[in-house]
Structure 1
Amino acid sequence: MVAKIFIDGEAGTTGLQIRERLAGRRDIEVVSIDQDKRKDQSERKRLLNLADVAILCLPDDAAKESVSLIENDTTRVIDASTAYRVAEGWAYGFAEMDKAQSDVIARARFVSNPGCYPQGPIATLRPLIAAGLLPADFPISVNAISGYTGGGKSMIAEYEQAGDTASEYMPYGLTFQHKHVPEMTRYSTLKHAPLFVPAVGDYAQGMVTFVPLQLGQLAKVPTGRELHAAIADHFAAIPNSFVEVAPYDEIAKTPELDPELYNNTNRMKLHVFANDARAQALLVAVYDNLGKGASGAAVQNLNLMLGVAGDTSLAA
């Protein structure tokens, strides 16, 4: 049986990338809205109810409207907005988050695709809290940099028009109320919101997240190797994972922290760096903000929901 897929908002950055990844598949049929009917609510409603899976690549309010237009009990939904990421009844679409999460996604009717920034901190912090190496109320800071495609069409245009005058590194979200903080907090299993400072770089796509840890205040200070082992054990137990843990190595620098290293793939690579004498550590994740951070994750979730191999249409 060929599954009908409707990408609501396929003209946006995420929608275009999803469509590109699905091109040539014989197990699905991508149904599209005619250009002259893109603002026709009745036609959107028809396609949403026709689809086996609707993938919403829309702003939050528009995504909520699309969900409200679904009148049947069969259309399944993957929402790429922030509208439902911490909502009851929605599965969180980070398949490697836990050993059982891919099965949760496979069975779900409603799946919220994760934000790009939260996935790195979730991947590194959740295993440490589960292993008892970090308490859930530990004060956490997260720093990150993403390519300008993470800001959507307006930021893409802004950077491409600026050319050589574009800012090389521009922190933002300095009120510490970034829209990704709620999911970062919940799925990292933190009791308190982290201090999150994102930044945009003068390059198109790719990202790195950093979680620095001052461990000296803990009653039992974990070593770098213990932190690494807990994270490595977590992902070793997850089949068909796109997340890889780099070997533990005491080095001053490495080319593997290039934010563009995994562009156009669904890969994520995690690193642990530490100075045990100072009780300090750094957790790092490298991945593509348009791949594992957005479109790649959506296709991975779609594959799970359709019961096909998780790496179908995805470069690893």
Structure 2
Amino acid sequence: MSGRQIKTPLRLRLGVAVALLCSTAPSMALNTGTIVSSALSPDCLEYRVVGICYWLRCSLSGCSVRTSVKVRHYVPDAVVSSYSNTGENPWGEIRTMSLPNPTAQAGGDGTSNLDHENNLAKFKNADVIGHPGGELFNQFSSSFGYSCQGVGTAFMPYLLSTLDTPAWRYNMPEAVYPEALIPGQREVGSRSGMSLWGSVYPRGGFLHQSDDYKAGAVVAQRAGDIVTRRGQPHVYQPVLASARDGYWPAGALMETDPSTGKWQELTPRASSSCMVFPHDETLTQARRGDYAWALWRPYSCCQRRGQTFLGSVDFN
């Protein structure tokens, strides 16, 4: 897709729009309009020229080598919701996708009914839905130059934990994976740095974490981890594209590594910036344990300038 050049005043207007629509003030109910407007984020986009692509173009008059600019930026592929009560996804318009069923009901936290004890046992449902802001985002990203196509399809359900009961509620078979049994493997945060939020495995809805925001973030990380890989023991569809000449899509998401993906908070606070877990920003606790983030993924691409792709060179 060739990026259409837009005059600078429009870029300024987009910047003002994102400042107004995606401020760090506490948000109201999450809806599609709010999610679409959140895609106008220069911080999350992180547009960069990273190299040069070489193409061989041949015609009746002969062959020549042509070049095109290689760019890299992030794309909001999906919305990942992490919420306590089954059937109550904070994104209201898609709530009917993940209603309770005979194998997935209720939810919430464990309790000892003793006020002096911390409630450590948490359970979160998780849904991964295609980001609805693709068309607006494409206009926004093309104002910076040539832009790359993401893989997410608007409103596509990539993972619904209510349909993934054996893995999500019983941790089968991942409860016996080495990543789940050996401390220090695949963790969100650091034990030595006293910033451990939780472990990625087993990738289900249960974990022990006294902070509800951190519990929601770890479960969102687990859901993102699943859908960005193929052949996982879950009921889901991968959010992955295949590489082709002049196009390098995002790969597997890895915790704490922004080069594989980053998160934009949508609720309980709407943010115009992206980050990875763990982070040092203010953690706003949701009243009903409902959280949602947009998952932005990195893509690189360059415009086709010939019949044969000869390769690319990246700048240091």
What TM-score do the two structures reach when normalised by structure 1?
0.26
**How high is the TM-score relative to the length of structure 2?**
0.26
Who wins on radius of gyration, i.e. which is larger?
A: 2
**Which of the pair is proportionally richer in helix?**
1
Q: Which has the higher contact order (CA 8 A, sep 6+)?
A: 2
Instruction: Considering fraction of residues, name the structure with more strand.
Output: 2
